[in-house]
């Protein structure tokens, strides 16, 4: 059995549960995000124990809730999980029942995620319980790509290239990734179907092929290619064929990402030796600068699914996760870290946090600045997370 067949069988077992998620991921329920300084919503919990209680606490904390006693909480969650989970949610201030359900037919952990998602949906918000992340884990001098649930559960190795592999990014609404691998020498961009295990070389040119980013409709890929001499921004169809060069610069471009409507590509560029955020029409045209008042050297941008914000890394001695309105303006500094990627709810961000020589993944609730490590993921050198949308 060859490598592709082995990976196909392995990933089919681990990732079979992703298919229903992929079909439903197009439903987006969002709420305005005001970065930083927002007080968490107070919630109490009783009756849940063990893993169910841990899942509920984790999911709500990274989505802007804080736990208190029943008398002080606006929302009261009660229930039990002797075998299957029974869950109830009450808005104490409005004296209104929000959720009252019995869950079965899945693991207790999955039932707890679903209960939280149902509670959030009752508040006209989108839950994260079924979402996935991809990330890079260092193995010796090389890196390999892994996937996991957003809370780190069920981490599964995708690549075994024994080479430098980097920059995973999801195909929207599908269980597939693009990433860059040095397996064939020069860095090349690969497409990898996680359900079948099949992968193909998508962009392999002389020089470097880096930083793939898939358009929201899944039809095009933006990338940084140096095939014509300098690292410039290109865009090509996912079906193959010729790529279109969008920039012509003697200074590096990096980190492309798409606007949710697919009309714009944001990227980091050097202008007069200083790095700036810029955008350009996906069809080509004039480069427009996105002002980031208050910080220097912005890089690694990611556009929120609701189109309102761009999160990025600012390099100012250390690395800081920051957010700016999509049109540019005053920047809000959030937390020390790098490699930010928006969750599908347009308020939670996964990022890389450095602790000495180690790197770990963490989740940030942008409005409240609450941070929680994704401690279920093993190892101490994980980075470059990408959140499936």
The ranges assigned to domains in the chain are 31-122, 132-387
Mean pLDDT taken over the chain: 91
How confident is the model at residue 44, as a pLDDT? 98
- pLDDT-derived band at 174, boundaries 50, 70, 90: very high
Residue 265 has pLDDT above 90, yes or no: yes
Q: What is the CATH number of domain 132-387?
A: 2.120.10.30
How confident is the model at residue 9, as a pLDDT? 47
CA dihedral sign, ordered 11, 12, 16, 22: positive
Average confidence (pLDDT) over 289-294: 94
Using DSSP, state whether 204 is helix, strand or coil. coil
**Residue 112: its H or E element:** helix 108-122
Q: Which residue has the higher pLDDT, 253 or 135?
A: 135
Helix axes 108-122, 50-61, angle to 10 degrees: 40
Average confidence (pLDDT) over 120-128: 97
**Residues facing residue 361 across a β-bridge:** 352
**Rounded CA gap, 163 and 388, in Å?**
24
How confident is the model at residue 21, as a pLDDT? 40
**Rounded CA gap, 134 and 152, in Å?**
10
Give CA angle at 308 (274, 320), nearest 5°: 40
- pLDDT-derived band at 241, boundaries 50, 70, 90: confident
CA dihedral sign, ordered 204, 205, 206, 209: negative
Q: Which of 37-41, 166-170, 308-312 has the lowest mean pLDDT?
A: 37-41
- Backbone φ and ψ for 54, nearest 5 degrees, come out as -65, -45
Q: Let me know if domain 31-122 sits in CATH 3.40.50.
A: yes
pLDDT digit string (tens) for 202-232? Answer: 999 988 999 999 999 999 999 999 998 889 9
Among the listed residues 136, 132, 203, 138, the one whose alpha carbon sits nearest the alpha carbon of residue 171: 132
Q: How far is CA 345 from CA 64, 137, 199, 218, 388, in A?
A: 12, 25, 29, 19, 11
Residue 5 has pLDDT above 70, yes or no: no
Share of the chain above pLDDT 70, in %: 92
How confident is the model at residue 33, as a pLDDT? 61
- Backbone φ and ψ for 25, nearest 5 degrees, come out as -70, -15
DSSP letter (8 states) at residue 242: -
**Rounded CA gap, 365 and 343, in Å?**
10
């Amino acid at each position: 059995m060859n490598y592709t067949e082995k990976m196909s069988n392995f990933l089919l077992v681990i990732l079979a549960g992703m298919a229903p998620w992929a079909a439903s991921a197009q439903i987006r329920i969002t709420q305005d995000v005001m970065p930083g300084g927002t007080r968490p919503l107070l919630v109490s919990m009783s009756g849940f124990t063990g893993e169910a209680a841990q899942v509920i606490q984790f999911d709500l904390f990274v989505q802007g809730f804080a736990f208190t006693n029943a008398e002080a909480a606006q929302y009261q969650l009660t229930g039990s999980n002797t075998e299957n989970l029974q869950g109830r949610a009450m808005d104490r201030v409005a004296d209104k029942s929000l959720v009252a359900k019995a869950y079965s037919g899945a693991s207790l952990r999955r039932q707890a995620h679903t209960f939280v998602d149902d509670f959030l949906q009752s508040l006209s918000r989108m839950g994260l319980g079924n979402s996935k992340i991809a990330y890079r884990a260092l193995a010796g001098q090389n890196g390999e790509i892994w996937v996991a649930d957003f809370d780190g559960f069920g981490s599964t190795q995708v690549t075994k290239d024994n080479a430098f592999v980097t920059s995973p990014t999801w195909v929207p609404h599908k269980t597939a990734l693009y990433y860059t691998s040095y397996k064939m020498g020069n860095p090349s961009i690969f497409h990898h179907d996680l359900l079948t295990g099949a992968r193909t070389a998508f962009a392999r040119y002389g020089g470097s092929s880096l930083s793939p980013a898939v358009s929201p409709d899944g039809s095009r890929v933006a990338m940084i290619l140096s095939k014509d001499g300098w690292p410039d921004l290109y865009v090509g169809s996912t079906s193959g064929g010729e790529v279109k060069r969008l920039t012509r610069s003697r200074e590096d471009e990096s980190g492309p990402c798409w606007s949710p409507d697919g009309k714009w590509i944001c990227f980091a560029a050097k202008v007069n030796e200083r790095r700036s955020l810029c955008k350009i029409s996906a069809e080509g045209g004039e480069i427009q600068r996105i002002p980031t008042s208050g910080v220097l050297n912005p890089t690694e941008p990611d556009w929120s699914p609701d189109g309102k914000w761009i999160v990025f890394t600012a390099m100012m001695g250390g690395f800081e996760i920051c957010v700016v309105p999509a049109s540019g303006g005053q920047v809000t500094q959030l937390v020390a870290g790098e490699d930010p990627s928006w969750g599908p709810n347009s308020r939670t961000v996964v990022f890389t946090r450095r602790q000495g020589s180690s790197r770990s993944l963490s989740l940030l609730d942008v409005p409240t600045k609450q941070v929680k490590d994704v401690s279920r993921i093993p190892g101490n050198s994980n980075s470059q997370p990408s959140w499936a949308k």
